[in-house]
A and B are shown apart, each in its own frame.
Chain A
Amino acid sequence: MHHEAPLYTLFGLTFNLANVLMITVTSVIVFVIAVLATRNLAMKPTGMQNFLEWVMDFVKGIIKSNMDWKTGGRFHMLGMTLIMYIFVANMLGLPFSVVIDNKLWWKSPTADPVVTLTLATMVVALSHYYGIKLNGFKEYAKGFVSPMPILFPLKIIEEFANTLTLGLRLYGNIFAGEILLALLAGSLATGVGGTIAAIIPTIAWQGFSIFVGAIQAFIFTMLTMVYMAHKVSHDH
Protein backbone atom coordinates (compact mmCIF):
# COMPACT_ATOMS: atom_id res chain seq x y z
CA MET A 1 0.00 0.00 0.00
CA HIS A 2 2.67 2.45 0.92
CA HIS A 3 4.38 3.74 -2.20
CA GLU A 4 7.47 5.79 -2.53
CA ALA A 5 7.47 9.19 -4.14
CA PRO A 6 9.78 9.83 -7.08
CA LEU A 7 11.79 12.66 -5.61
CA TYR A 8 14.24 14.85 -7.44
CA THR A 9 16.27 17.71 -6.12
CA LEU A 10 17.08 20.74 -8.25
CA PHE A 11 18.54 24.05 -7.08
CA GLY A 12 18.00 22.99 -3.49
CA LEU A 13 14.30 22.45 -4.05
CA THR A 14 12.82 18.99 -3.70
CA PHE A 15 10.43 18.05 -6.47
CA ASN A 16 8.00 15.17 -6.24
CA LEU A 17 8.07 14.25 -9.91
CA ALA A 18 4.69 12.53 -9.63
CA ASN A 19 3.16 15.79 -8.48
CA VAL A 20 4.93 17.71 -11.22
CA LEU A 21 3.61 15.25 -13.78
CA MET A 22 0.06 15.26 -12.50
CA ILE A 23 -0.13 19.02 -12.06
CA THR A 24 1.02 19.40 -15.63
CA VAL A 25 -1.43 16.79 -16.91
CA THR A 26 -4.30 18.42 -15.01
CA SER A 27 -3.43 21.89 -16.27
CA VAL A 28 -3.13 20.65 -19.85
CA ILE A 29 -6.46 18.83 -19.67
CA VAL A 30 -8.23 21.88 -18.22
CA PHE A 31 -6.67 24.11 -20.84
CA VAL A 32 -7.53 21.77 -23.70
CA ILE A 33 -11.12 21.40 -22.53
CA ALA A 34 -11.52 25.16 -22.19
CA VAL A 35 -9.94 25.92 -25.55
CA LEU A 36 -11.88 23.21 -27.37
CA ALA A 37 -15.09 24.49 -25.84
CA THR A 38 -14.42 28.04 -26.87
CA ARG A 39 -12.94 27.36 -30.29
CA ASN A 40 -16.08 28.19 -32.24
CA LEU A 41 -17.67 30.93 -30.23
CA ALA A 42 -21.15 31.85 -31.38
CA MET A 43 -23.92 34.09 -30.24
CA LYS A 44 -26.15 31.03 -30.33
CA PRO A 45 -24.11 28.62 -28.19
CA THR A 46 -23.97 24.92 -28.90
CA GLY A 47 -22.57 21.86 -27.17
CA MET A 48 -19.38 22.51 -25.25
CA GLN A 49 -19.81 26.27 -25.30
CA ASN A 50 -23.12 25.79 -23.53
CA PHE A 51 -21.40 23.69 -20.91
CA LEU A 52 -18.64 26.19 -20.29
CA GLU A 53 -21.14 29.03 -20.14
CA TRP A 54 -23.05 27.05 -17.58
CA VAL A 55 -19.85 26.73 -15.51
CA MET A 56 -19.28 30.49 -15.89
CA ASP A 57 -22.78 31.22 -14.65
CA PHE A 58 -22.38 28.68 -11.86
CA VAL A 59 -19.20 30.35 -10.58
CA LYS A 60 -20.85 33.73 -11.05
CA GLY A 61 -23.67 32.49 -8.86
CA ILE A 62 -21.19 31.38 -6.18
CA ILE A 63 -19.53 34.79 -6.19
CA LYS A 64 -22.81 36.66 -6.23
CA SER A 65 -24.06 34.75 -3.20
CA ASN A 66 -21.09 36.13 -1.23
CA MET A 67 -20.56 39.67 -2.48
CA ASP A 68 -21.87 42.13 -4.99
CA TRP A 69 -20.76 41.57 -8.55
CA LYS A 70 -18.97 44.89 -8.77
CA THR A 71 -16.35 43.73 -6.27
CA GLY A 72 -16.64 40.03 -7.04
CA GLY A 73 -16.32 40.24 -10.82
CA ARG A 74 -12.54 40.35 -10.60
CA PHE A 75 -12.51 36.91 -8.93
CA HIS A 76 -14.44 35.29 -11.75
CA MET A 77 -11.34 33.98 -13.51
CA LEU A 78 -9.86 32.74 -10.23
CA GLY A 79 -13.07 30.90 -9.39
CA MET A 80 -13.35 29.41 -12.88
CA THR A 81 -9.77 28.18 -12.86
CA LEU A 82 -10.08 26.83 -9.33
CA ILE A 83 -13.26 24.88 -9.88
CA MET A 84 -12.17 23.36 -13.19
CA TYR A 85 -8.64 22.62 -12.05
CA ILE A 86 -9.72 20.97 -8.80
CA PHE A 87 -12.52 19.02 -10.43
CA VAL A 88 -10.24 17.63 -13.13
CA ALA A 89 -7.53 16.95 -10.54
CA ASN A 90 -10.00 15.02 -8.38
CA MET A 91 -11.16 12.95 -11.33
CA LEU A 92 -7.69 11.97 -12.52
CA GLY A 93 -6.96 9.53 -9.70
CA LEU A 94 -10.24 7.67 -10.07
CA PRO A 95 -9.90 5.38 -13.08
CA PHE A 96 -6.46 4.00 -12.22
CA SER A 97 -3.17 4.72 -10.57
CA VAL A 98 0.23 3.95 -11.95
CA VAL A 99 2.98 2.51 -9.81
CA ILE A 100 6.42 1.97 -11.28
CA ASP A 101 9.19 0.45 -9.18
CA ASN A 102 7.04 0.92 -6.08
CA LYS A 103 6.91 4.59 -6.93
CA LEU A 104 3.45 6.16 -7.33
CA TRP A 105 3.33 8.16 -10.56
CA TRP A 106 -0.31 8.54 -11.52
CA LYS A 107 -2.69 9.87 -8.87
CA SER A 108 -4.83 12.87 -8.16
CA PRO A 109 -2.56 15.86 -7.56
CA THR A 110 -5.08 16.92 -4.93
CA ALA A 111 -4.37 13.70 -3.03
CA ASP A 112 -1.17 15.40 -1.86
CA PRO A 113 -1.39 17.88 1.02
CA VAL A 114 1.44 19.93 -0.42
CA VAL A 115 -0.63 20.70 -3.50
CA THR A 116 -3.90 21.44 -1.72
CA LEU A 117 -2.23 23.53 0.97
CA THR A 118 -0.41 25.49 -1.71
CA LEU A 119 -3.74 26.30 -3.32
CA ALA A 120 -5.28 27.15 0.05
CA THR A 121 -2.40 29.39 1.05
CA MET A 122 -2.53 31.11 -2.31
CA VAL A 123 -6.24 31.79 -1.89
CA VAL A 124 -5.87 33.13 1.65
CA ALA A 125 -2.90 35.26 0.61
CA LEU A 126 -4.94 36.65 -2.25
CA SER A 127 -7.79 37.45 0.12
CA HIS A 128 -5.39 39.45 2.31
CA TYR A 129 -3.96 41.17 -0.75
CA TYR A 130 -7.36 42.21 -2.06
CA GLY A 131 -8.51 43.15 1.44
CA ILE A 132 -5.72 45.70 1.64
CA LYS A 133 -6.02 46.76 -1.98
CA LEU A 134 -9.75 47.40 -1.97
CA ASN A 135 -10.37 48.62 1.58
CA GLY A 136 -7.04 50.22 2.50
CA PHE A 137 -4.67 49.03 5.19
CA LYS A 138 -6.51 50.79 8.01
CA GLU A 139 -9.81 49.15 7.22
CA TYR A 140 -8.04 45.82 6.72
CA ALA A 141 -6.27 46.05 10.10
CA LYS A 142 -9.51 47.06 11.77
CA GLY A 143 -10.95 43.75 10.66
CA PHE A 144 -8.67 41.97 13.14
CA VAL A 145 -9.93 43.88 16.18
CA SER A 146 -13.62 44.08 15.42
CA PRO A 147 -16.10 43.72 16.92
CA MET A 148 -13.86 43.55 20.05
CA PRO A 149 -10.08 43.95 20.42
CA ILE A 150 -10.00 40.90 22.68
CA LEU A 151 -10.81 38.74 19.67
CA PHE A 152 -7.47 39.59 18.06
CA PRO A 153 -5.72 36.31 18.93
CA LEU A 154 -8.74 34.36 17.71
CA LYS A 155 -8.72 36.28 14.45
CA ILE A 156 -5.07 35.39 13.94
CA ILE A 157 -5.75 31.74 14.67
CA GLU A 158 -8.75 31.90 12.34
CA GLU A 159 -6.57 32.87 9.41
CA PHE A 160 -4.31 29.86 9.90
CA ALA A 161 -7.23 27.59 10.64
CA ASN A 162 -8.95 28.73 7.47
CA THR A 163 -5.88 27.94 5.42
CA LEU A 164 -5.36 24.55 7.02
CA THR A 165 -8.98 23.43 6.84
CA LEU A 166 -9.39 24.66 3.27
CA GLY A 167 -6.40 22.65 2.09
CA LEU A 168 -6.75 19.59 4.28
CA ARG A 169 -10.47 19.15 3.62
CA LEU A 170 -9.81 18.73 -0.05
CA TYR A 171 -6.74 16.59 0.50
CA GLY A 172 -8.49 14.35 3.04
CA ASN A 173 -11.50 13.68 0.86
CA ILE A 174 -9.56 12.85 -2.26
CA PHE A 175 -6.77 10.93 -0.52
CA ALA A 176 -9.26 8.81 1.39
CA GLY A 177 -11.11 8.05 -1.82
CA GLU A 178 -7.94 6.91 -3.52
CA ILE A 179 -6.84 4.83 -0.55
CA LEU A 180 -10.11 2.94 -0.56
CA LEU A 181 -9.97 2.46 -4.32
CA ALA A 182 -6.42 1.17 -4.02
CA LEU A 183 -7.49 -1.18 -1.26
CA LEU A 184 -10.41 -2.50 -3.27
CA ALA A 185 -8.43 -2.89 -6.47
CA GLY A 186 -5.15 -4.03 -5.02
CA SER A 187 -5.80 -5.97 -1.85
CA LEU A 188 -9.31 -7.36 -2.20
CA ALA A 189 -9.14 -8.27 -5.87
CA THR A 190 -6.76 -11.19 -5.52
CA GLY A 191 -8.00 -14.33 -7.15
CA VAL A 192 -11.25 -14.86 -9.06
CA GLY A 193 -13.61 -14.74 -6.07
CA GLY A 194 -11.99 -11.64 -4.66
CA THR A 195 -12.17 -9.86 -7.98
CA ILE A 196 -15.85 -10.65 -8.42
CA ALA A 197 -16.52 -9.52 -4.86
CA ALA A 198 -14.57 -6.30 -5.44
CA ILE A 199 -16.41 -5.27 -8.64
CA ILE A 200 -19.59 -3.93 -7.02
CA PRO A 201 -18.02 -1.90 -4.18
CA THR A 202 -15.36 -0.54 -6.56
CA ILE A 203 -17.93 0.73 -9.01
CA ALA A 204 -20.03 2.15 -6.18
CA TRP A 205 -17.06 3.88 -4.60
CA GLN A 206 -15.88 5.28 -7.92
CA GLY A 207 -19.33 6.74 -8.49
CA PHE A 208 -19.31 8.18 -5.02
CA SER A 209 -15.81 9.57 -5.56
CA ILE A 210 -16.97 11.40 -8.67
CA PHE A 211 -19.69 12.95 -6.54
CA VAL A 212 -17.24 13.80 -3.76
CA GLY A 213 -14.74 15.22 -6.23
CA ALA A 214 -17.36 17.52 -7.75
CA ILE A 215 -18.63 18.57 -4.34
CA GLN A 216 -15.10 19.28 -3.09
CA ALA A 217 -14.33 21.40 -6.13
CA PHE A 218 -17.52 23.36 -5.46
CA ILE A 219 -16.77 23.69 -1.73
CA PHE A 220 -13.22 24.88 -2.35
CA THR A 221 -14.43 27.57 -4.75
CA MET A 222 -17.29 28.51 -2.47
CA LEU A 223 -15.03 28.88 0.59
CA THR A 224 -12.51 30.84 -1.47
CA MET A 225 -15.23 33.35 -2.26
CA VAL A 226 -16.45 33.34 1.35
CA TYR A 227 -12.96 34.25 2.60
CA MET A 228 -12.58 36.83 -0.16
CA ALA A 229 -15.92 38.40 0.71
CA HIS A 230 -14.96 38.44 4.36
CA LYS A 231 -11.86 40.48 3.62
CA VAL A 232 -13.18 42.57 0.78
CA SER A 233 -16.66 43.62 1.87
CA HIS A 234 -17.12 46.91 3.69
CA ASP A 235 -19.70 46.02 6.30
CA HIS A 236 -17.42 43.80 8.41
Chain B
Amino acid sequence: MFVLGAGGHGFNGGDIAFQLVMFLLLMFLLRKYAFGPLMGVMKQREEHIANEIEQAEKHHQEAKKLAEEQRELMKKSRQEAQALIEEARKLGEEQKEQIIQAARQEAERLKEAAKKEIAQEKEQAMAALRQQVASLSVLIASKVIEKELSEQDQAKLISEYIQEVGESR
Protein backbone atom coordinates (compact mmCIF):
# COMPACT_ATOMS: atom_id res chain seq x y z
CA MET B 1 0.00 0.00 0.00
CA PHE B 2 2.74 2.39 0.89
CA VAL B 3 4.72 1.62 -2.21
CA LEU B 4 1.73 2.67 -4.24
CA GLY B 5 1.27 5.98 -2.47
CA ALA B 6 2.21 9.18 -4.16
CA GLY B 7 4.34 10.05 -1.22
CA GLY B 8 3.79 7.11 1.08
CA HIS B 9 5.91 7.43 4.17
CA GLY B 10 4.90 5.22 7.01
CA PHE B 11 1.37 4.38 8.02
CA ASN B 12 -1.02 7.30 7.55
CA GLY B 13 -3.40 6.38 10.32
CA GLY B 14 -4.46 9.99 10.62
CA ASP B 15 -5.60 10.13 7.00
CA ILE B 16 -7.73 7.05 7.47
CA ALA B 17 -9.39 8.41 10.56
CA PHE B 18 -9.85 11.82 9.00
CA GLN B 19 -11.32 10.40 5.80
CA LEU B 20 -13.73 8.21 7.73
CA VAL B 21 -14.86 10.99 10.02
CA MET B 22 -15.21 13.46 7.17
CA PHE B 23 -17.18 11.02 5.04
CA LEU B 24 -19.58 10.12 7.80
CA LEU B 25 -19.94 13.76 8.76
CA LEU B 26 -20.58 14.68 5.14
CA MET B 27 -23.19 11.95 4.82
CA PHE B 28 -24.91 13.12 7.98
CA LEU B 29 -24.87 16.76 6.95
CA LEU B 30 -26.10 15.98 3.45
CA ARG B 31 -28.93 13.90 4.83
CA LYS B 32 -29.91 16.62 7.22
CA TYR B 33 -29.58 19.71 5.04
CA ALA B 34 -29.82 18.60 1.42
CA PHE B 35 -31.00 15.14 0.50
CA GLY B 36 -33.47 14.71 3.30
CA PRO B 37 -35.54 17.75 2.33
CA LEU B 38 -35.06 16.91 -1.34
CA MET B 39 -36.34 13.40 -0.77
CA GLY B 40 -39.26 14.85 1.16
CA VAL B 41 -40.15 17.07 -1.76
CA MET B 42 -39.78 14.20 -4.21
CA LYS B 43 -42.02 12.03 -2.09
CA GLN B 44 -44.49 14.87 -1.74
CA ARG B 45 -44.53 15.33 -5.49
CA GLU B 46 -45.00 11.61 -5.98
CA GLU B 47 -47.99 11.67 -3.68
CA HIS B 48 -49.28 14.82 -5.33
CA ILE B 49 -49.07 13.23 -8.78
CA ALA B 50 -50.67 10.04 -7.54
CA ASN B 51 -53.45 12.12 -6.01
CA GLU B 52 -53.93 14.09 -9.18
CA ILE B 53 -54.12 10.94 -11.23
CA GLU B 54 -56.62 9.46 -8.85
CA GLN B 55 -58.68 12.64 -8.94
CA ALA B 56 -58.57 12.73 -12.69
CA GLU B 57 -59.68 9.12 -12.86
CA LYS B 58 -62.53 9.85 -10.49
CA HIS B 59 -63.59 12.86 -12.52
CA HIS B 60 -63.41 10.84 -15.66
CA GLN B 61 -65.57 8.16 -14.12
CA GLU B 62 -68.06 10.77 -12.96
CA ALA B 63 -68.21 12.41 -16.35
CA LYS B 64 -68.77 9.04 -17.95
CA LYS B 65 -71.60 8.30 -15.57
CA LEU B 66 -73.17 11.69 -16.20
CA ALA B 67 -72.95 11.25 -19.93
CA GLU B 68 -74.56 7.85 -19.61
CA GLU B 69 -77.34 9.33 -17.49
CA GLN B 70 -77.83 12.13 -19.96
CA ARG B 71 -78.03 9.68 -22.81
CA GLU B 72 -80.55 7.61 -20.91
CA LEU B 73 -82.64 10.70 -20.20
CA MET B 74 -82.45 11.77 -23.82
CA LYS B 75 -83.58 8.37 -24.97
CA LYS B 76 -86.44 8.36 -22.50
CA SER B 77 -87.62 11.84 -23.44
CA ARG B 78 -87.41 10.97 -27.11
CA GLN B 79 -89.51 7.90 -26.51
CA GLU B 80 -92.00 9.94 -24.54
CA ALA B 81 -92.24 12.52 -27.28
CA GLN B 82 -92.73 9.75 -29.81
CA ALA B 83 -95.53 8.29 -27.70
CA LEU B 84 -97.14 11.69 -27.32
CA ILE B 85 -97.07 12.32 -31.04
CA GLU B 86 -98.45 8.87 -31.67
CA GLU B 87 -101.26 9.44 -29.24
CA ALA B 88 -102.08 12.85 -30.67
CA ARG B 89 -102.16 11.41 -34.15
CA LYS B 90 -104.46 8.64 -33.04
CA LEU B 91 -106.71 11.13 -31.30
CA GLY B 92 -106.81 13.35 -34.37
CA GLU B 93 -107.62 10.36 -36.53
CA GLU B 94 -110.47 9.44 -34.24
CA GLN B 95 -111.77 12.97 -34.15
CA LYS B 96 -111.62 13.20 -37.89
CA GLU B 97 -113.53 9.99 -38.18
CA GLN B 98 -116.11 11.24 -35.73
CA ILE B 99 -116.51 14.58 -37.46
CA ILE B 100 -116.89 12.92 -40.82
CA GLN B 101 -119.38 10.50 -39.36
CA ALA B 102 -121.38 13.32 -37.80
CA ALA B 103 -121.30 15.33 -40.99
CA ARG B 104 -122.43 12.38 -43.00
CA GLN B 105 -125.28 11.70 -40.58
CA GLU B 106 -126.27 15.34 -40.63
CA ALA B 107 -126.31 15.35 -44.40
CA GLU B 108 -128.31 12.16 -44.47
CA ARG B 109 -130.79 13.63 -42.05
CA LEU B 110 -131.06 16.86 -44.00
CA LYS B 111 -131.58 14.93 -47.21
CA GLU B 112 -134.20 12.77 -45.58
CA ALA B 113 -136.04 15.81 -44.22
CA ALA B 114 -135.90 17.54 -47.55
CA LYS B 115 -137.24 14.46 -49.29
CA LYS B 116 -140.07 14.16 -46.79
CA GLU B 117 -140.93 17.81 -47.19
CA ILE B 118 -140.91 17.50 -50.93
CA ALA B 119 -143.25 14.52 -50.76
CA GLN B 120 -145.55 16.33 -48.38
CA GLU B 121 -145.56 19.39 -50.52
CA LYS B 122 -146.31 17.29 -53.55
CA GLU B 123 -149.15 15.55 -51.73
CA GLN B 124 -150.64 18.88 -50.68
CA ALA B 125 -150.32 20.27 -54.16
CA MET B 126 -151.89 17.16 -55.55
CA ALA B 127 -154.88 17.38 -53.17
CA ALA B 128 -155.37 21.04 -53.85
CA LEU B 129 -155.18 20.46 -57.54
CA ARG B 130 -157.64 17.58 -57.32
CA GLN B 131 -160.12 19.70 -55.45
CA GLN B 132 -159.73 22.59 -57.82
CA VAL B 133 -160.10 20.31 -60.82
CA ALA B 134 -163.17 18.68 -59.31
CA SER B 135 -164.90 21.91 -58.59
CA LEU B 136 -163.90 23.28 -61.97
CA SER B 137 -165.19 20.14 -63.72
CA VAL B 138 -168.43 20.36 -61.81
CA LEU B 139 -168.73 23.95 -62.85
CA ILE B 140 -167.96 23.10 -66.47
CA ALA B 141 -170.19 20.03 -66.51
CA SER B 142 -173.04 21.85 -64.93
CA LYS B 143 -172.69 24.54 -67.45
CA VAL B 144 -172.56 22.01 -70.31
CA ILE B 145 -175.13 19.45 -69.27
CA GLU B 146 -177.26 21.61 -67.02
CA LYS B 147 -179.42 19.69 -64.68
CA GLU B 148 -179.38 16.42 -66.65
CA LEU B 149 -177.63 14.87 -63.86
CA SER B 150 -178.06 15.36 -60.22
CA GLU B 151 -175.21 17.04 -58.52
CA GLN B 152 -174.42 13.90 -56.68
CA ASP B 153 -174.19 11.75 -59.78
CA GLN B 154 -172.10 14.33 -61.47
CA ALA B 155 -169.60 14.42 -58.62
CA LYS B 156 -169.39 10.70 -58.73
CA LEU B 157 -168.83 10.70 -62.44
CA ILE B 158 -166.19 13.41 -62.25
CA SER B 159 -164.30 11.74 -59.48
CA GLU B 160 -164.26 8.58 -61.62
CA TYR B 161 -162.80 10.53 -64.48
CA ILE B 162 -160.24 12.15 -62.38
CA GLN B 163 -159.32 8.82 -60.93
CA GLU B 164 -158.81 7.60 -64.48
CA VAL B 165 -156.74 10.68 -65.26
CA GLY B 166 -154.61 10.08 -62.17
CA GLU B 167 -154.04 6.45 -63.13
CA SER B 168 -153.23 7.09 -66.74
CA ARG B 169 -150.80 9.78 -65.79
Interface residues on B, range: 35 or more
B34: A residues at CB distance < 8 A = 31, 34-35, 37-38, 52
Chain A positions within 8 Å of B, measured between CB atoms, are 2-5, 7-10, 12-16, 18-20, 23-24, 27, 30-31, 34-35, 37-38, 41-43, 45, 49, 52-53, 56, 76-78, 80-81, 84-85, 104, 107, 109, 111-115, 117-119, 122, 168, 171, 175
Query: In the complex, which residues 120-151 of chain B have their Cβ closer than 8 Å to any Cβ of chain A?
Result: none
A16 to B37, CA, bound (A): 35
Chain B positions within 8 Å of A, measured between CB atoms, are 1, 4-20, 22-23, 25-27, 29-31, 33-35, 37-42, 44-45, 48
Q: Are B42 and A5 in contact (CB under 8 A)?
A: no
Q: Are A27 and B26 in contact (CB under 8 A)?
A: yes
Q: Are B38 and A16 in contact (CB under 8 A)?
A: no
Q: A27-B26, A37-B34, A41-B37 are in contact. Are A113 and B10 (CB under 8 A)?
A: no
Q: Are B4 and A113 in contact (CB under 8 A)?
A: yes
Please, could you name 24 A-B residue pairs with CB atoms under 8 Å apart, sorted by A? Answer: A7-B12, A13-B14, A16-B7, A23-B22, A31-B33, A35-B33, A35-B34, A38-B33, A38-B37, A38-B38, A41-B38, A41-B41, A43-B41, A56-B42, A77-B27, A78-B27, A81-B26, A81-B30, A85-B26, A113-B1, A114-B16, A115-B19, A117-B1, A171-B4
Report the minimum CB–CB distance from B8 to chain A (whole Å).
8
Q: Are A104 and B7 in contact (CB under 8 A)?
A: yes
Q: Are A113 and B5 in contact (CB under 8 A)?
A: yes
Residue of B nearest to A36 (CB): B34
Could you say which of B8, B22, B29 has the most chain A C-beta atoms within 10 Å of its C-beta?
B22
Residue of A nearest to B13 (CB): A13
B11: A residues at CB distance < 8 A = 14
Q: Are A114 and B35 in contact (CB under 8 A)?
A: no
Q: Is the interface of A mostly helix, strand, loop or mixed?
A: helix
A22 to B149, CA, bound (A): 181
B33: A residues at CB distance < 8 A = 31, 34-35, 38
Residue of B nearest to A42 (CB): B41
